[in-house]
Amino acid sequence: MNSRTLPVPDGLDGMRVDAGLAKLLGLSRTTVAAIAESGDVSLDGRPAGKSDRLTAGAWLEITLPEPEREGEPVPAIEVPGLAVIHEDDDIVVVDKPVGVAAHPSPGWTGPTVIGGLAAAGVRVSTSGAAERQGVVHRLDVGTTGVMVVAKSEHAYTVLKRAFKERTVDKGYHALVQGHPDPSAGTIDAPIDRHPKHDYKFAVVASGRPSVTHYETLEAFRAASLVAIRLETGRTHQIRVHFAALRHPCVGDLAYGADPVLAKRLGMARQWLHARRLAFHHPADGRWVEFTSEYPADLQAALDLLTDES
């Protein structure tokens, strides 16, 4: 690691951290965003998120990761439980287990989808930053379910655009505390980094537009199983939105979930699962849909609630 300390130049005043530092340092915005998300960017001694604004003259400190050697592959490390749902010349669709990141990033030393695919002999697109090759969207480490990775350059370009233009249908199931009222609706609340805790996100008036549609599938005594369709794809969006409604995902202690209920249901992470992913196939435009069953820990929690009802 090497650190740089300098005042923010006048020409970057008012720019977002990721855009301004990318211009200043000659790095990609995704690389700067990853560095910021890891807490390695500070302005006047306070951690700065990727969407924070730069102020001319503010004292900037940034810790840069060691540069990757050109073309250095992600280490191929087998990931138990990582299942391939579908594979063709353009895409590979996987069922991601808990405790697995989408790709390597500063500060993460655990298993990754990209490393697991490499270990399984799956070649992915070389587009994007070296450590994120083929990754067109992400699931949190503690979130399970269906995820698509691009294998061809064409697929990477098409899918990246599809996620950006919101033509991908992303369906999740979540077990949330209590009973949302109304039982079906839309949460339209902007999200940005938490003003006090850099590792979290929050509903913030000046944040990025974020829209979550939900419908209650089943109501239990202490919680509700909800189906969710994301219109936008912000980091931690579902977790933040339901926490803001005072119905956090069961087991999501970082966002205010009840630890007693989590322990009773055996949940060591948030009850959140990427159930369905549908999109136009990048090869021929046909609509394809993939689904994932609940993993054992989520199903066990549901079974306990059902027995109590």
Half-sphere exposure of 50 (CA within 13 A, CB side): 21
Return the residue matching tokens 């923010």.
8
Are 63 and 40 in contact, with CB atoms under 8 Å apart? yes
| Distance (Å) of CA 259 to CA 174, 220, 267, 269, 300 | 17, 18, 9, 11, 17
Q: Which residue among the candidates 18, 40, 52, 140 is catalytic per the annotation?
A: 140
Tokens read off for 98? 């808990």
Contacts of 79 (CB under 8 A, 6+ apart): 97, 100, 111, 112, 113, 115, 116, 119
Report the relative pairing of strands 272-280 and 91-96 from DSSP bridges: unpaired
Determine the longest span between alpha carbons in the chain, in angstroms. Answer: 63
- The answer to whether the peptide bond before residue 9 is cis (omega within 30 degrees of 0) is no
Are 74 and 107 in contact, with CB atoms under 8 Å apart? no
* Active site annotation includes 140: yes
Active site residues: 140
